[in-house]
A and B are shown apart, each in its own frame.
Chain A
Amino acid sequence: MSDGWTLAAREAEDGEYTVRTRAALPDPAERARYPVAMWITWPWGPIASEAEEDAIIDEMIRFENAVHEAATRGGWGMLVAVVTNGAGREWLWHAAHADEFVGEMRGALQGHPTYPFEVRAWDDPTWKAARELNPRAGMH
């Protein structure tokens, strides 16, 4: 296996949520290369049936795989964590530059339908958000 991932399911007042994260954060050089946190939020929205929910999950997986594969190949970002809860699904990527990430992501999603996600970016050179999502993640 190239990278270890962990998945934790937790109960909250509003239902179960899951956090899928890298088991260990990357080494310092890699972290320094990606100092910008990219937080992508995709709300469930109204779901009329289980089939619709399945279709949305399929789209989320296609989106994640497309961006992950392109970012890994192109070296412009790194997927760090995925959080799913009653409100939707959220992804934490780390990038070298926010604008570059967004531009490359658009390219990776060419041919995909328009997805209802929002992107936020902020400087996080210490990878604080990643460590909050997985406090047990080992640091190199």
Chain B
Amino acid sequence: MDTPGHQARPVDYGRVFSQAIDRLHAEGRYRVFIDILRNKGQFPNARCFAGHNGPKPITVWCSNDYLAMGQHPKVIAAMEEALHDVGAGSGGTRNIGGNTHYHVDLEAELADLHGKEAALLFTSGYVSNEATLSTLAKVLPGCVVFSDELNHASMIAGIRNSGCEKRVFRHNDLVHLEELLAAEPADAPKLIAFESVYSMEGDVAPIAAICDLADKYNALTYLDEVHAVGMYGPRGGGISEREGVAHRLTVIEGTLGKAFGVMGGYIAADRTVVDVIRSYAPGFIFTTSLSPVLVAGVLASVRHLKSSASEREGQQAAAATLKGMLTDAGLPVLPGDTHIVPVMVGDPVKAKRISDILLAEYGVYVQPINYPTVPRGTERLRFTPGPAHDERMMRELTDALTEIWDRLELKLAA
């Protein structure tokens, strides 16, 4: 109740919003975006506009354009051609004017990539996960979703938005997953949601063994391959293609913005599942479809990576070389078999400090990875070397990190 003599004042929205941001600063979680432009045809070289009187040359070490396909001449030519042929935008949702022939072709190409009957495009990987998981579980009354504890935020959002029961299993822990599956009624619909490559850890899921459990407990499977499509498998179909298990998965989800170098997300599955998502998922239905220019670029990228392994081989070689150099220098590299090279720091302030020094003094751009992206105490720098990172760049990076580790008195690997 208001004190007599004083009028009620409206909510001070400005104070509430600034208090929320202040909280992130106090916790060391406030994010600053680095302002860059990549140099076409010269990736990983770029220009940085942060804190300078003009662009400063930098080397990008944290891009998810793992294979530099965003710079590939075929991709750029395809996009230019589409732009001049059909214009910039799609003109609508898929249902109302925005279903271009590029979209249809790309979906066929992606279905073929994963050996599935159909595929469906979304505006991003995040949207594809959120829309598909929330819809799939909603369509199955009483569905219980089993989710790896390190699943991406988009998968967690999709599962939460489905409103169904969720069981979280310890990361890649088959025994725990089976315990949870066995605890549910045999006739309950079940969906196991997991990733192939966990981007922050750089490790790989036991896909075949999870499919075995899915068979045993009559569960559907949903595999997020965003960090693997284009990167693994003879045609870039991901870890599931490399291991010959794609046919055992109900849904494979991927992104078009990482190894394929452009933008967008997708799922591939059998025709009925895709038709359900196409028909029921608000995140698919009520949004303007991807620009045909983007889709044309992805189409060129997917087709190229189906037949060319040189980018994948170059990327794997670069990752192995960098891991070797950093390990030899005594830096705490998190072991793993993938293209991702995490260097552990274990402190959010120091992780940001190292990143700041690398950018300001060495022209090296790498984002610190802090909570909530990774658990507290496991803050890190995450390097993603690609086929265009040469040995000289890696040597310079290793020397810079060694000097900074020494300067900040950080722990080297045991």
Contacts and interface: CB of A to CB of B under 8 A. Distances in A.
Interface of A: 1-7, 9, 15-16, 18, 20, 23, 50, 53-54, 57, 61, 64, 68, 72-75, 79, 82, 84, 89
A138 to B, nearest CB: 14
Contact of B14 (A2, A61, A73, A82): A2
A2 B26 contact: no
Secondary structure class of chain A's binding surface, majority of residues: mixed
Contact of A75 (B3, B13, B17): B3
A76 to B, nearest CB: 9
Given A16-B25, A84-B25, A64 B12 contact: no
Contacts, number: 67
A18 B23 CA distance: 10
Contacts of A89: 26
Contacts of A9: 25, 30
A2 B6 contact: no
Given A50-B377, A72-B9, A73-B9, A84 B3 contact: no
30 contacts: A2-B9, A2-B13, A2-B14, A3-B12, A5-B14, A7-B18, A7-B25, A9-B25, A9-B30, A16-B25, A18-B25, A50-B27, A50-B376, A53-B27, A57-B26, A57-B27, A61-B19, A68-B12, A68-B15, A72-B9, A72-B12, A73-B2, A73-B3, A73-B6, A73-B9, A74-B3, A75-B5, A82-B22, A84-B22, A84-B25
B9 A54 contact: no
A53 B377 CA distance: 13
A4 B15 CA distance: 7
B362 interface: no
A53 B27 CA distance: 8
Which residue, of B8, B15, B30, has the highest number of chain A Cβ atoms within 10 A? B15
B349 A1 contact: no
Given A18-B25, A68-B15, 9 more contacts: A1-B12, A6-B18, A15-B349, A18-B26, A23-B14, A50-B27, A50-B377, A68-B12, A73-B9
A74 B6 contact: yes
Contacts of B2: 73
Interface of B: 2-3, 5-6, 8-15, 17-19, 21-23, 25-27, 30, 349, 371, 376-377
A3 B25 contact: no
A61 B18 CA distance: 12
A55 to B, nearest CB: 12
Contact of A1 (B14, B371, B377): B14
B25 A5 contact: no
B26 A84 contact: yes
A90 B27 CA distance: 16
A64 B30 CA distance: 21
Contact of B10 (A2, A15, A16, A68): A2
Contacts of A23: 14
Contacts of B13: 1-2
Nearest to A23: B14
Contacts of A57: 23, 26-27
A47 to B, nearest CB: 12
A79 B15 contact: yes
B8 A20 contact: no
B30 A54 contact: no
A20 B19 contact: yes
A5 B17 contact: yes
Nearest to B23: A57
B3 to A, nearest CB: 5
Contacts of B11: 2
B371 to A, nearest CB: 7
Nearest to B18: A5
Nearest to B30: A9
